[in-house]
Amino acid sequence: MGYTMVILFVLAMVYAYFWYRVHGYRRYCTSNVSLRGKTVIVTGGNSGIGKETAIDLARRGARVILACRNPNLAEEAVKEVSKRSKSTNVTYRHLDLNSLESVRNFATGFLEEEERLDILVNNAGITGGYPYYNMVPPKRTVDGFEYVCGTNHFGHFLLTLLLLERLKKCSPSRVVMVSSNYYEHIQTAIDFKPKSPDGLRYPGLNDYAYSKAANVMFTRELARRLKGTGVTAYSVHPGNVNTNIIVENNPRHVWISPIIWLLLLSERTGAQGSIHCAVDESITDLSGSYFENCQPRPLRSSVVKDDAMCKKLWEVSCQAVGIEDAD
Catalytic residues: 208
Pairwise CA distance, residues 248 & 145, whole Å: 30
Residue 9, Cβ neighbours under 10 Å: how many? 10
By the 8 A CB rule, do 238 and 271 touch?
A: yes
Nearest to residue 141, comparing CAs of 177, 101, 104, 105? Answer: 101
Tell me the pairing of strands 90-94 and 63-68.
parallel
- C-alpha distance from residue 147 to each of 99, 129, 138, 196 (Å): 10, 11, 6, 15
- The Cα–Cα gap between 295 and 215 comes to 18
**DSSP classification of residue 229:** T
